[in-house]
Structure 1
């Protein structure tokens, strides 16, 4: 595959608005179609599910973005990779691996998933001695080459961590961290954050004391074994794939697209892999909150580059 094109990830989000939702009949029809065709996964209907922030696919040829982070070509080999692997089991001292983030009413998956993977890796590479919840808020407010809540580049988000650093973050309106995530799930017209090199009132550290940087950011080779090796050695990675209507209805099993129209591209963090009923899968943490899917996680068919999921894989290493 020639890496001359990089996707502008026009992220997808799931949220609810009081009194408004996808009509039940539309959801019933979609779920019925899935159940008649899907052989490896189970669909369900979600109450008050509403699709928003879903734009047209943003595929833009751009060599400079493709080269925003280097390709990791000299990867250390692993003699034998396990059939099943879960980062949560290998690194149980890193609680962030169990956490599911909620990007709320903002197409910020590229930033939220990257911040989550960075949080995991910061803990993993310190042997659990250092815990820090990296956040997307400061990046979303200050990035000059993203579309904020309308999508952005995963590669440039990782490189921003190296160049400018990420600050700590607390959940929506929690008052925790240098900055709290500004967008909730109920679409109540939350104001967009302004770019400010200051932490919120009451936080004990200054911005410069809180911000932490990456030592490196890179792309992983676009093959199954290289991706597995990277996760096994260094922790979760961020991938992106094309999303169709049926994905919204996922409940359990190994997802494979079976029906519906394209809705855009989505970035997520892969924490492991396995085999279920003879079907190979990636184990993935979504950023739509714990009410979606299997408590926020999902399994996705592995080794087929299904809907482009193995084309662009991003990672990095922390600086202490």
Structure 2
């Protein structure tokens, strides 16, 4: 059974709009939701980047069924891991057990704002491991003292713990991150339908754990409008993670994607209103072994039309083709 999710893309809508979109997504029948956690949008055309954790708190109160998840939070630069643990425990309590904490090693785009430079990937992984260890220790209750290479924690304690701690998901893009996710995570997160990522996750202890993927889509009854919107706001998506994690500013993404054409974008992102094209874009994730797939509808002003179409057309087509609830 493949579960189909909805993405609150904080880079393309304001906080009140995001919560309204999620309420409608719950009514539409999406199986779960995920939320990006950014300080900057990828491109200026997206135009937003509210504080994801305030949005999550409001979303937890405005909805009653749909699961919530960060996709993903970096617990090593902008946020100290002890603070991430407190935020996650609070959202888990507010949502009555519907929250999962998705974590990743971060992007320069969002983390540079606190200064200190942007270290190499091996250092980011070291910091990531320490952060997950701290968060798990705090979820267990009691006072936590931690002395690491990168983080210290001095007699910290979470005073409002949920009945069960949020499961921890870890984002992967290569062998090393898969090893960490298999060993330390409760689920794995990826943005590409690569079976080798899930194979590596399984080899390192991830067998049987949930695996969550994500892909952008651009619905519009007019395909040219859908393609133009996708090009304007999402042409960065094809850069690949090694590039996207290093660029420091929306202007950097503008420069890096200046030669990407609308046809290039339309070749990798389903655009228009043909449900079969969307099904075929999702299918590689299901065939790779992903158990959950979150869709990102591109464009903050296109959400309600997408959700109406999803309820009537897309979700039934996906569930018929791929199986689902």
Higher relative contact order (CA 8 A, sep 6+): 1
Where is the strand percentage greater, Structure 1 or Structure 2?
Answer: 1
Query: What TM bracket, shorter-length normalisation?
Result: under 0.3
TM-score in terms of structure 2 length: 0.26
TM-score in terms of structure 1 length: 0.26
Where is the helix percentage greater, Structure 1 or Structure 2?
Answer: 2
